[in-house]
Amino acid sequence: MNYISTRGQVEPKGFIDTVLMGLGEDGGLMVPETIPSVSAETLNKWKGLEFRELFIEIFSLYANGEIPENDLKELVDASYASFRDPEVTPVRKLNDSLYILELFHGPTFAFKDVALQFMGEFYSYVSKTRGEIIHILGATSGDTGAAAIQGVRGKEGIKICILHPHEKVSKVQELQMTTVNDKNVLNLSVKGNFDDCQRIIKELFSDLSFKGEHHLRAINSINFVRILAQTVYYFYAYFRVSDQLGSDAASKKINVSVPSGNFGNIFSGFLAKKMGLPINKLIIATNENNILERFVQTGEYRPGEFRKTHSPSMDIQVASNFERYLYYLLDEDSAKVSDYMAQLASEGRIFVEGELLERVQSELHALGAKNEQGLELIRKYKSEYDYLLDPHTACGVAAYEAFNEEGEVTAAFATAHPAKFDEAVRLINIVQEFPVQIAELVAKDQFQTVIENDKAEVTRQLEAFFAGDTVSKA
């Protein structure tokens, strides 16, 4: 299988080369030339697999055998060894129509660990086996950065620089990133918002001579391998919810409700559904930064005013993976995607209507939860089920409440542990106990460089950080 760009100007690439390229060299996003389809028979075989086995099956459909089976197994085992739950992503039933897929059992307590602990192992493997220099550049609203740093800290042949918005991530997120004192880690705290950080790194990735000279690699969901790793828990959740439904499984439809910002997580669900997983509704849950809700309701995709909310990781206006969705919406017509993206760049908006909008509305449901609504739901679920939602998960539960209908059940994705967002939880006077790994962060020193919202300054920092690195092949 080869990979091509949504904008059609990149020669087809193999799997590892696609991962190393990250953002397509034409500014588009890489996608598989064809999406593998999974038969009902295969789904039936897969339903008894544990998470790691499922990962290997799904990954193997996309990786062209470029990683020998034994090596892949070792990578997967190493990636999930640090997870606190043996199931990796367990599913809890809250009531007859609501199941929670807990994605926060990795080392940094957010769903990003599922893909990023794997990516850390993967990059290390590629560095050793191909002698590639791996200089990771990423932007974060808090969780990607923490998980990516954790995945590569101290690893030979790899350096990582993460841009986060200054004073716009939670205290725990900031500590998770900035208390890491390994020499291969650089935290830049940018006086701007997440969209600024993402724009700067995309501009640097688009400068092909700078990217090549400095061996820049992506860990954000612009990188297709992130999307792929995230599809695994859609399959896993579907199978576990079906198990728990028992004899009711045949008569119930299964929805997923996914807290969304950069559109990577929900796009993984879109991909899983295209592969043949019979998910019913794909529900996008956002906070008041509701560009995706506005798009699904009206067909207009227009970044609006940035809102600071209780779910800061989803304080995102420009949803990176939207372009991948657009590609499939436009029937894989890369010329049309390029036109739409050029229009977005020049006019600040794009618009779909008529049959296209009808298709969007048949494929996606979306709700932008209000700040107060999120807090109210945290309070309600704590008191009714003794289950503490984090504020991002609460947006997903709000969307479940809005869209789940008779004959359906919903797997709402818990994308973070509430301890990461105690600022919000405290507002409703709930006192939570912190996991020890989080409690011990406050005593540690922090290492970060605060900089202006300025690409030239980021460039200078990177040139100094990456200078003189070489790597040899194992």
Ligand X SMILES: Cc1ncc(COP(=O)(O)O)c(C=O)c1O
> Which of ligand LJ64HWYM, ligand X, none sits in contact with 388, Cβ below 5 to 8 A by type?
none
Q: How many CB atoms lie within 10 A of CB 473?
A: 10
Structure letter (DSSP) for residue 434: P
444 is catalytic: no
**Minimum distance of ligand X from residue 195's CB (angstroms):** 12
**Minimum distance of ligand LJ64HWYM from residue 118's CB (angstroms):** 14
> Which of ligand X, ligand LJ64HWYM, none sits in contact with 260, Cβ below 5 to 8 A by type?
ligand X
**Helix (H) or strand (E) run with residue 178 in it:** helix 171-178
In 3D space, the residue among 253, 290, 250 whose CA is nearest the CA of residue 404 turns out to be 253
- Locate 272 and state its tokens: 């899983």
Choose one: 134-142, 234-242, 287-295, 375-383; the region binding ligand LJ64HWYM (CB under 6 A): 134-142
- Number of chain residues interacting with ligand X (CB under 6 A): 16
In 3D space, the residue among 327, 325, 274, 279 whose CA is nearest the CA of residue 36 turns out to be 274
Choose one: 92-100, 136-144, 231-239, 366-374; the region binding ligand LJ64HWYM (CB under 6 A): 136-144
Question: ∠395-22-179 over CA atoms, to 5°?
Answer: 60
**Helix (H) or strand (E) run with residue 425 in it:** helix 422-427
Does position 143 interact with ligand LJ64HWYM (CB under 6 A)? The reply is: yes
Does position 409 interact with ligand X (CB under 6 A)? The reply is: no
**Active-site residue identified among 13, 112, 211, 273:** 112
Site string for ligand X, 286-325 (x = CB under 6 A): ---------------------------xx-----------
List, in sequence order, the alpha helices (H) in 37-86. 40-46, 51-62, 69-80
| C-alpha span between 205 and 261 (Å, rounded) | 21
In contact, 165 and 142? CB cutoff 8 Å: no
Among 110, 116, 175, 377, binds ligand X (CB under 6 A): 110
Among 143, 288, 293, 401, binds ligand X (CB under 6 A): 143
> Which of ligand X, ligand LJ64HWYM, none sits in contact with 259, Cβ below 5 to 8 A by type?
ligand X
**Minimum distance of ligand X from residue 144's CB (angstroms):** 7
| C-alpha span between 340 and 394 (Å, rounded) | 33
Among 6, 18, 144, 260, binds ligand LJ64HWYM (CB under 6 A): 144
Nearer to ligand X, 282 or 314 (CB): 314
| C-alpha span between 117 and 124 (Å, rounded) | 11
Evaluated on CA atoms 299, 321, 462, 209, the torsion sign reads: negative
Does position 28 interact with ligand X (CB under 6 A)? The reply is: no
Choose one: 90-98, 119-127, 137-145, 334-342; the region binding ligand LJ64HWYM (CB under 6 A): 137-145
Q: Which of residues 228-267 bind ligand X (CB under 6 A)?
A: 259-265
Nearer to ligand LJ64HWYM, 164 or 240 (CB): 164
φ/ψ region of 367 (left if φ > 0, alpha if ψ in -120 to 50, else beta) reads beta
User: Regarding beta strands 134-139 and 216-218, do their DSSP bridges make them parallel or antiparallel, or are they unpaired?
Assistant: parallel
In contact, 265 and 413? CB cutoff 8 Å: yes
CA distances from 450 to 90, 453, 465 (A): 38, 10, 15
Binding site for ligand X (CB under 6 A): 110, 141, 143, 221, 259-265, 313-314, 392, 415-416
Q: Which residues are catalytic?
A: 112
Site residues, ligand LJ64HWYM (CB under 6 A): 112, 140-145, 220-221, 261-262, 264, 313, 320
